[in-house]
Amino acid sequence: MKINDRKPILFEKSDHNIWTDPYIQQQMLKKHLDLHSDEASRRQEYIVKIVNFILQHAKPKSRSLDLGCGPGLYTSHLADEMHTVTGIDFNKASIEYATHKRKDIEYILGDYIMNYPTGQYDLVTMIYCDMGTHSDRDRDKLLKNIYHSLTDNGIFIFDIFSEGIINDRQEGKSWEYEPSGGFWNESEYLLLSQTFHYPRDKAFAYQYNLIVEDTIKQFIVWERYYSEKEITDLLKKIGFRKISIHKNLLGKNNFTSSSEMFIVTEK
């Protein structure tokens, strides 16, 4: 049993994934559905604010695609406003919950990087700073797919962390012992966590060693942040236009950081 304590190569992928691990994805679903917490999805009051923000910029009754839709907390609101909605996520537990909850919404279990949904959309959304979890290469591939899937004058709305996130993060190590199980496993476990910063590449890596009895699982989660110029130049390079950046949409909140930007851009 070997603990990995080295600094990962930029955007290195771990053997295990918190969104597809059979036990952890169930715990993620529970956190999604806790509307008083910002841990996996935002609290209900902020979800409503974000949905209203989306509706202000989207055309009525749009054909909408939500990337990383989770259990359908945003798609359900859009469907209530007469949008024709598709959602995709690779958390099986979330998709099964969402499909059972709403039969009038198309849900897809899949990886939107590798298997981007076919079809044309008037609106594409990606909420909860998902853009920052991907390598630059995967991000560029995704942005090109989003652009080509949008109808003329179609809208893409997403959020990302700004450079201010560095004031809410610091490199370090910690450990967590759960004698009766918890978020990471139903049995007794020890979790060793490390945070690494890559200032030149504007990214953080969160590396976890999960020790259960005589086994160990290793997870890495990435978090990329951007300057306003960087994200604007990136979107223009893809072909997007009419880019607007919205800060302090939610004010100070209990999300992992309040230093976030909501981006609205048009094809």
Averaged pLDDT for residues 48-73: 95
Averaged pLDDT for residues 29-42: 80
| Helical ranges in the chain per DSSP H | 22-32, 44-57, 75-80, 92-101, 136-149, 228-238
Confidence of residue 78 (pLDDT cuts 50, 70, 90): very high
Percent of the chain with pLDDT over 70: 97
Distances (CA, A) of 212 to 7, 52, 186, 191, 227: 23, 44, 10, 9, 40
Which tokens is 225 given? Answer: 């942040």
Instruction: Tell me: pLDDT of 83 over 90.
Output: yes
Distance CA 185, CA 84 (A): 37
Confidence of residue 169 (pLDDT cuts 50, 70, 90): confident
Instruction: Tell me: pLDDT of 39 over 80.
Output: no
What is the pLDDT of the chain when averaged over all its residues?
A: 93
Instruction: Tell me: pLDDT of 70 over 70.
Output: yes
Distance CA 148, CA 138 (A): 16
Which residues, 6 or more positions from 74, have their beta carbon under 8 angstroms from its beta carbon? 47, 50, 51, 54, 66, 125, 127
* Amino acid in the structure at residue 210: L
pLDDT tens digits for range 85-115: 999 999 999 999 999 999 999 999 999 999 9
User: Is 206 in contact with 220 (CB distance < 8 Å)?
Assistant: yes
Instruction: Tell me: pLDDT of 41 over 80.
Output: no
Confidence of residue 31 (pLDDT cuts 50, 70, 90): confident
Confidence of residue 257 (pLDDT cuts 50, 70, 90): low
